Amino acid sequence: MKKIFIKSSIALCVMLALPACNNQADSNNNVTTKTSTATKTQTPDVEKFLTKVEKELTALNLENARAAWIYSNFITDDTASLAADADQKSTEAGVRFAMEAAKFDNVDVSADQRRKLNTLKQSLVMPAPQDAEKSAELAKIGSELGGMYGKGKYTTKAGETLSLGDMTATMATSRDYDELLELWQGWRTISPEMKPLFARQAELANEGAQGLGYQDLGAMWRSNYDMPADEFGKELNRLWGQVKPLYDDLHCYVRSELAKTYGEDKVPQDQPIPAHLLGNMWAQSWGNIYDLVAPDNADPGYDVTEQLAKHDYDEIKMVKGAETFFTSLGFEPLPETFWQRSLFTKPADRDVVCHASAWDLDAKDDIRIKMCIQKTGEEFNVIHHELGHNFYQRAYKNQPVFYQNSANDGFHEAIGDTIALSVTPKYLKEIGLIDTIPDESKDIGLLMKMALEKIAFIPFGLMVDQWRWKVYSGEVTPENYNKVWWELREKYQGVAAPVDRPADAFDPGAKYHVPGGVPYSRYFLAHIQQFEFHKALCEIAGNTDPIHRCSIYNSKAAGEALNTMLEMGSSKPWQQAYKVLTGKEQMDATAVLDYFSPLQTWLKAQNKGKQCGF
């Protein structure tokens, strides 16, 4: 559960297009505060203001979190109304805080005070023009786009009306080419009507961003990473360049295996892969087609789901087991309130939001998870991931409310996934779930499963915002939205629309984060960072196994290093937090290559003589 205002996102003063913010953008569109020496004055009022805001923010965040928790666990019209009221109250307060913080733009303040003031202006994503009617219009468009996506359904040729959940479940398991194609096309019938609204949203948000000296909204988004906006874009491309050879090898192998199921007439070996055949509505991860591409003799000799049942693991024992992972690193056990207040199983008497999530209600010790736990190996991993969020939340609890968040918006997801990377056969043996560790010949299957999820996602994680940045800069106009979307998907993913798309298609709108206005680069960053964090922690732990076999379970040294970084929250630029764990301030995707090295060697052997590339 994220804080209501204190998020590593886009400047809230940009959202409001405040005149006082106009001197915040430097020549690189990096958020800074330029002041004139002649206009600077010393004043104690800033500390009084920050103290007042901190107190109010703490109370508002608790009120909002409680309302959201109740709604998620007791879904009724009344709880929905209460949650909406609390959210509106918080949003209005955030606007007020940003406007008041902007008054100190030309005041001499300490570096810490300046960071807190800027944090108050970094919560919302869409910058509204300084015009009441346009601001209201922008808010209405956002609500309408979200509603269109949330209500989206498709009625099949057979007359069955399906939700997105229904369709994604079928796409995960069906191997019927025509059925997959119908569902793929069907979901994309919901988005054409979004196109004019999205175009107007981009126009209004750009106006707000430009009023502050940014070139466009994309430049403003890229300015949120403690580095110049132009450098951030280049950094993402540099990281992608490091990973691309591994992705290309995976793509070549998967394409050839899919042809064995569907035929080369359906999957040409010199063309991008048809997007509907990869087991996922958006072809963003490919784990659901593991059965079609699994290496021979890849069975590791155990099934975690079966082992959980054999050892009498119920839902609580699964969570207790994951907690033990963290206490083995030296972290304090979860508070008793965690066990009293979390949701672990789906209630039989009411509707709840079952999507797994980690919550921090009071910014101190009232941390919880909300899951409808299934007793499976996959869910055992997810629990480790969610507790990673909880222990991160508790680690930065002593920071001022302004800094109670991850170092950048990729860190929280990366930390959760870093912990999950330690759920290895070695770890499973140490906790008594399996008796023997499979030999290294079984590693290829385990690495293939992970690559289909992690490596397959990386170019998709990159291209979503690449497309939006082009839209916001004006390089891509509405008539070319869909054309450029698929050009980028072919360029980065080697994935293509399975049929010609209609002239009015708006396929980007079929992905939640586009109509939802959620920046996507954070997910790309998390998929890079988690492997570098894992590698660094394994080295600290004195690991001598190959990196993909390492678990930091029981390493107090690794736990101490991890906690040092987590305790920082967002109090310093993310590069400084990065250095605490990795020893350097620049991300490096070679850790990804190290992790998957055995798989890449195997893939190259399998691809020998094949026509690769797209």
Q: What is the DSSP string of 169-237?
A: HHHHH---HHHHHHHHHHHTTSSGGGHHHHHHHHHHHHHHHHTTT-SSHHHHHHTSSSS-HHHHHHHHH
Residue whose token pair is 């874009």:
233
Distance CA 212, CA 199 (A): 21
> Dihedral of CA 191/192/197/202: which sign?
positive
Distance CA 115, CA 512 (A): 32
Alpha carbon distance 422, 549 (integer Å): 8
Question: In angstroms, what CA-CA distances link 71 with 29, 65, 87, 255, 453?
Answer: 39, 10, 12, 44, 31
> What is the DSSP-derived secondary structure letter of residue 274?
E
193 belongs to the catalytic site: no
Angle, helices 315-328 vs 377-395, to 10°: value is 50
481 is catalytic: no
Interatomic CA distance for residues 485 and 463, integer angstroms? 9
Q: Cβ-count burial of 89 within 10 angstroms (0-12 exposed, 13-18 middle, 19+ buried)? A: middle
Residues of the chain where predicted confidence (pLDDT) is lower than 70: 1-44, 91, 95, 122-124, 212-213
412 catalytic per annotation: no
> Phi and psi at residue 269, in whole multiples of 5°?
-85, 0
Secondary structure tally for the chain: helices H, strands E: 24, 6
153 three-state secondary structure: strand
> For residue 99, what pLDDT is reported?
72
Q: What is the predicted pLDDT for the residue at 19? A: 25
| Lookup: tokens for 48 | 């009084």
Instruction: Say which of 276, 384, 389, 527 is annotated catalytic.
Output: 389
482: helix, strand or coil: helix
CB 368 within 8 A of CB 531: no
Catalytic residue among 71, 253, 302, 523: 523
Q: Between 229-262 and 597-607, two packed helices, what is the crossing angle to 10 degrees?
A: 50
CB atoms within 10 A of CB 479: 11
Q: SS3 of 577, please? A: helix
- Contact of 7 with 94, CB cutoff 8 Å: no
Catalytic residue among 182, 323, 379, 386: 386
Catalytic option among 251, 276, 384, 385:
385
Helices within 263-310 (DSSP H only)? 290-293, 304-310
Residues in a beta bridge with 153 = 163
CA distance 235 to 258: 33
CA-CA distance, 561 to 556, in Å (whole number)?
Answer: 9
Determine which one of 139, 199, 294, 356 is catalytic.
356
Joined together, the tokens standing for residue 106 give 């030309």
Give me the half-sphere count of Cα atoms (radius 13 Å) on the Cβ side of residue 411: 27
Q: What does each C-alpha distance from 356 to 4, 295, 317, 564 come to in angstroms?
A: 19, 31, 17, 26
Residue with the two structure tokens 């190290």: 594
Q: What is the pLDDT of residue 117?
A: 87
Q: Which residue in the list 56, 496, 513, 539 is annotated as catalytic? A: 513
Residue 356 annotated in active site: yes
Q: CA distances (Å), 36 to each of 148, 187, 355, 359, in order? A: 47, 54, 50, 43
Looking at 413, 427, 472, 497, which residue is catalytic?
413
Residue type, 114: R
**Per-residue pLDDT, 7:** 34
Q: How many CB atoms lie within 10 A of CB 525?
A: 24
Write out the two tokens for 126.
Answer: 């869409």
Q: What angle do CA 196, 199, 204 make, to 5 degrees?
A: 125
Helix (H), strand (E) at residue 29:
none
- Partners of 162 in the β-ladder: 154
pLDDT the model gives residue 349: 87
Predicted pLDDT at 356 = 87
Amino acid symbol at 456: A
CA angle (103, 518, 185) in 5-degree steps? 155
Tokens 């039989």 -> residue: 348
User: Of 336, 355, 503, 605, which residue is the catalytic one?
Assistant: 355
Q: Is the dihedral of CA 325, 330, 333, 334 positive or negative?
A: negative
**Whose CA is closest to 33, among 94, 91, 120?**
120
